Amino acid sequence: MNALKAAANGANQEIKTSNYQLSPEQDYSGRGMPKIVGYEARNTVIVTTDKLDQVGALIDTATKAGANSVEGIAFTLRDDSRKRGDALGTATRQAMAKAEAIAESLGGKIVRVVETVESGSTPTPIVYSDAAMTTNTTMAKQEYQTQIKAGSINVRGSVTLVVEIDAARK
């Protein structure tokens, strides 16, 4: 954790423990009860940063400082309220256009919107479970630099409209 803090390089960064587990290592080779010969400690740390170009370097810093497992990377929006609003606005306009087409096909028009239900507007994070490693052969000691490239995040909105239609009777 100290190495990650030192590697922040001015980034707005949060480092926190999300899980800590201590388990005994036991020797079952003798007779009777197994003997505790040591303990295994697992400290799961979550790092949040606003410098996406430093993600690979943070992974490298953590592994050089003793981390032996990188469990995944997730890219998410820090504040998605504007993008969610845009997605829901688009979904609402599309739902209303469909409702108007249905009303028109019935020879009528929409009198009022009775109910709206929104769903599915949370952005889906992009998750990488394995980091791509490249070898830097210019150094005397073989060194690895983790290459991470963030992609786009899709924000989706879904709106269900219940409308009242005044349909012409034939």
pLDDT digits (tens, 9 = 90+) for 105-126: 999 999 999 999 987 655 555 5
Asked if 116 and 160 count as a contact pair (C-beta separation under 8 A), the reply is yes
Long-range contacts at 27-32 (CB < 8 A, ≥ 24 apart): none
User: pTM higher than 0.85, yes or no?
Assistant: no
pLDDT digits (tens, 9 = 90+) for 23-63: 999 999 888 889 999 999 988 888 888 888 888 888 899 98
Contact in structure between 114 and 99 (CB atoms under 8 Å): no
| Amino acid (one-letter) located at 92 | T
